[in-house]
A and B are shown apart, each in its own frame.
Chain A
């Protein structure tokens, strides 16, 4: 039974182009109080257009209603659980927004002289220090603008470090459970990618790793906890295997929400890692960003970090550009400053015990989902669940229903879909990460919804296969959309 939502009236809304009416406008300009200038004679007549063809002309209220109506079609973390796995879709506390909108921060300009930017620079310095504390690493760059950007920065650091030792090496090892960005990163930085198989527990197979690690290997890119939501319990041994051959350990910090305040990558053998502030540290996520993917490193990699670096000189902050071994800048200015401010606000609002508590709650919530759904869905890896749990659609597939079908049916129950078909090493994966955000009530509604869908699969599989039924738009033909995409609107003729 669907408990969380019911049908209500939704406004239809055409495109702005379709409601345009010539001459309408949403602005009023004051009378000209300076002598009029002929634009054509000043700029040249070729610069002047008499009209912009097809530009929508609408009133203010039409504009407001347009976007408000569209917003009611949306799903967001502010409406409910967003169980996408490895994405850590947690609530973004409003205090972050208040702090980021502080006048002196919101209006700070990157070209402001250093003497007038001491507060902003202090914020970056404190955030660097706190993130090093959380990860157990020695130094950090805040420049990368997102996770994959952080990965690329991290592997460039490793490449430059190995070059300084005389040989950049040829290969990067990536477990078969990795995020797709890991092999993409290694390839972008010029390495051959070698996939390492997981064992039956969903973890790195040490024997396979040992066999794959030779003097041509630059690094292993590992996610911990991995994408099955399992802590790589042999991570220290894995690091020893890499280090014995002079290779580096890179950690994808996408799943740091399972570790903060409990376990530090710097203590289990990691040399370089990125974290996603838009996941673990509650800055806005999705919609294409902006994100932030700081890269933390051990001491031996510090000379290679992107410039400029913060430097304390006689009680004030300076930007130090004089780092001859640096890989160079990876982002304009100093990273996505507004996002960094929000992350610091989150860390300071929680404090150390609060961060640890958030982690414990995130783990607890994932256990709650696992225990609730284990009787109804196949759990291919039964190792202790960390912050996310991965089921398989094996039991439902017998009725012709796949992971994507159940995810679409979940929309009818008032939830965002979970992650489907990833990680690839699980057949028909159903990956769920609740984060610490969710109350017991919301989690119970979710578990009830999934159990109800499992029953529907047995009683009326077509109901699930044809879902969603209650959304504005019925099931879209994803295949046709991908094979024959229509990417540009054209006016009805």
Chain B
């Protein structure tokens, strides 16, 4: 359910690192807690993001929630499709509905994040 090649945050974001670029999204658990997602607010390409700081927000029928960046760097692309089809975040949060890609400035930051097994244990706690 939670891919082994991702790392996870306590705020329920995931990050997948390939080369010097990280793809970031929210977890299956996060979308379940939020309920039906109706709007996604993402930063512009070129924005600097910082580990642990917010870079955008997700609005569901229940609430608006901040999204925290798992890593530091510069936004290299955003998932434009979510502007018109936010429901994809409910359907495929670990795949098609990634949020942003970031060019990493501190690649070692990822090592401090939870692995899939740790995250599942964290959810169970």
A: which residues have CB within 8 A of B? 180, 404, 420-422, 424, 478-479, 482-483
Contact = CB atoms under 8 A, between A and B. Distances in A.
Interchain residue pairs A-B with the least CB separation, the first 8: A482-B38, A479-B36, A421-B62, A478-B61, A483-B38, A479-B61, A482-B61, A479-B38
13 contacts: A180-B64, A420-B62, A421-B62, A421-B63, A424-B63, A478-B36, A479-B87, A482-B36, A482-B38, A482-B59, A482-B61, A483-B38, A483-B87
Nearest to A479: B36
Nearest to B90: A479
A380 to B, nearest CB: 16
B9 to A, nearest CB: 15
Contacts of B64: 180
Interface in B17-43: 36, 38-39
B70 interface: no
Contacts, number: 22
Contacts of B61: 478-479, 482
Query: For B38, B39, B59, which residue has the most chain A Cβ atoms within 10 angstroms?
Result: B38
B33 to A, nearest CB: 8
A471 B86 CA distance: 30
B70 to A, nearest CB: 17
Nearest to A422: B63
Contacts of A421: 62-63
Contacts of B87: 479, 483
Nearest to A429: B62
A268 B59 CA distance: 37
A482 to B, nearest CB: 4
Contacts of A424: 63
Contacts of A420: 62
Interface string B51-75: 0000000010111100000000000
A479 B87 CA distance: 9
A83 to B, nearest CB: 18
Interface of B: 36, 38-39, 59, 61-64, 86-87
Contacts of A478: 36, 61
A217 to B, nearest CB: 17
A479 B60 CA distance: 8
Given A180-B64, A404-B62, A482-B59, 5 more contacts: A420-B62, A422-B63, A479-B61, A482-B36, A483-B38
Contacts of A404: 62
A404 B36 CA distance: 13
A195 B112 CA distance: 22
B58 to A, nearest CB: 12
Contacts of B86: 483
Nearest to A424: B63
Contacts of A482: 36, 38-39, 59, 61
A421 B65 CA distance: 13
Query: For B36, B86, B87, which residue has the most chain A Cβ atoms within 10 angstroms?
Result: B36
Contacts of B59: 482
Contacts of B38: 479, 482-483
A478 B37 CA distance: 11
B44 to A, nearest CB: 19
A238 to B, nearest CB: 24
B125 to A, nearest CB: 14
A424 B59 CA distance: 14
Contacts of B63: 421-422, 424
A420 B59 CA distance: 16
A482 B40 CA distance: 12
Nearest to B62: A421
A54 to B, nearest CB: 31
B114 to A, nearest CB: 18
B77 to A, nearest CB: 24
A420 B62 CA distance: 8
Query: For B59, B62, B63, B87, which residue has the most chain A Cβ atoms within 10 angstroms?
Result: B62
B53 to A, nearest CB: 9
A373 to B, nearest CB: 22
Nearest to B38: A482
A180 B65 CA distance: 11
A483 B39 CA distance: 7
A404 B63 CA distance: 13
B34 to A, nearest CB: 10
A404 B87 CA distance: 20
A479 B86 CA distance: 11
A180 B63 CA distance: 10
A482 B39 CA distance: 8
A181 to B, nearest CB: 12
Nearest to A484: B38
A483 B61 CA distance: 10
A404 B62 CA distance: 9
Contacts of A180: 64
A392 to B, nearest CB: 13
A483 B59 CA distance: 10
B122 to A, nearest CB: 15
A420 B61 CA distance: 11
Nearest to A183: B66
Contacts of A479: 36, 38, 61, 87
